[in-house]
């Protein structure tokens, strides 16, 4: 893990499927001074509700990479949870291909290493009742949203699009990244095991660490304080 030597560090944060920039609203107050939290707001939600959501990882990576280029004038790192972890990883590889630059560090959370195939059933193709049941099982959508027909009608297209991005993602082998990687997982995550998290080691030529947190797949919310403490310690080393 290389040091930034006192410069401001931009932390670009990539949300999970169905999530938006608001997931990270409390982070600036809980992370070290000198860290500029930059949440990524994908189309199809909040202030970008009228924009068509991405339906493939390729289009997501191309669109977000283009939007980031003007903000890479300072040292930067990526954090992504679940879908956001793969997005952060693929955008780091895209930047290496296009701009010959990489984040100083990559934080990946709540997702199996990309080289491990995902054999789970395709969620995005389910009927509406089946899709809603799966959202409830995953425990990432607030009950007040799930129980509101008006809200669900508004966000269902975006949710299906995000799950399409995940399920149609196809990993392609490339040389390992040179940036260090920290991989986080949930101790009660039935979707992603510790072995899945540890397999991220294969994606870096630099240092690698694993930390597991109390909670299920959405420990990023339920164990937010512990997660941000761990993140703060690692960011402090970079500053």
DSSP codes joined into one string, 121-134: --STTS-HHHHHHH
In this predicted structure, what is the pLDDT of residue 140?
57
Token representation of residue 194: 């510790």
* pTM over the 0.85 mark: yes
Delineate the domains of the chain, giving CATH numbers in brackets: 9-118+171-238 (3.40.50.1820)
Residue 233: CB atoms within 10 A of its CB come to: 11
Angle at 84 between CA 78 and CA 86, to 5 degrees: 90
Per-residue pLDDT of the chain (239 residues; tens, 9 = 90+): 545 555 589 999 999 988 899 999 999 999 999 999 999 999 988 888 889 999 999 999 999 999 999 999 999 999 999 999 999 999 999 999 988 899 999 999 999 999 998 766 566 555 566 666 666 666 656 677 666 777 777 778 888 899 899 889 999 999 999 999 999 999 999 889 999 999 999 999 999 999 999 999 999 999 999 999 999 999 999 88
In this predicted structure, what is the pLDDT of residue 53?
92
In this predicted structure, what is the pLDDT of residue 154?
73
In this predicted structure, what is the pLDDT of residue 47?
84
In this predicted structure, what is the pLDDT of residue 100?
84
Residues with Cβ within 8 Å of 238's Cβ and at least 6 positions away in sequence, in order, are 1, 2, 3, 4, 9, 75, 77, 104, 105
* Nearest-angstrom CA–CA distance, 167 and 169: 6
* Residues designated as active site: 82
Token representation of residue 157: 């297209």
Angle at 70 between CA 45 and CA 11, to 5 degrees: 65
């Amino acid at each position: 893990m290389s040091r930034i030597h006192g410069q401001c560090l931009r932390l670009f944060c990539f949300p999970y499927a169905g999530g938006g920039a608001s997931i990270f609203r409390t982070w600036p107050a809980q992370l070290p001074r000198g860290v500029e939290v930059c949440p990524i707001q994908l189309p199809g939600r909040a202030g970008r509700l009228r924009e068509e959501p991405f339906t493939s990882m390729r289009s997501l990576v191309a669109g977000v990479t283009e939007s980031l280029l003007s903000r890479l004038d300072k040292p930067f790192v990526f954090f992504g949870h679940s879908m956001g972890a793969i997005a952060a990883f693929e955008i780091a590889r895209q930047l290496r291909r296009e701009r010959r630059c990489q984040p100083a560090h990559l934080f990946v959370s709540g997702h199996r290493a990309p080289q491990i195939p995902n054999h789970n059933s395709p969620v995005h193709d389910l009927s509406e009742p089946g899709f809603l049941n799966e959202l409830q099982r995953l425990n990432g959508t607030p009950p007040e949203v799930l129980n509101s027909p008006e809200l669900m009608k508004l966000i269902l297209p975006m949710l299906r699009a995000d799950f399409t991005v995940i399920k149609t993602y196809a990993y392609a082998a490339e040389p390992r990244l040179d940036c260090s990687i920290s991989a986080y997982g949930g101790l009660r995550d039935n979707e992603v095991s510790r072995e899945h998290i540890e397999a991220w080691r294969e994606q870096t030529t630099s240092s690698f660490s694993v930390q597991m947190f109390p909670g299920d797949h959405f420990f990023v919310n339920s164990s937010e304080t512990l997660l941000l403490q761990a993140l703060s310690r690692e960011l402090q080393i970079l500053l």
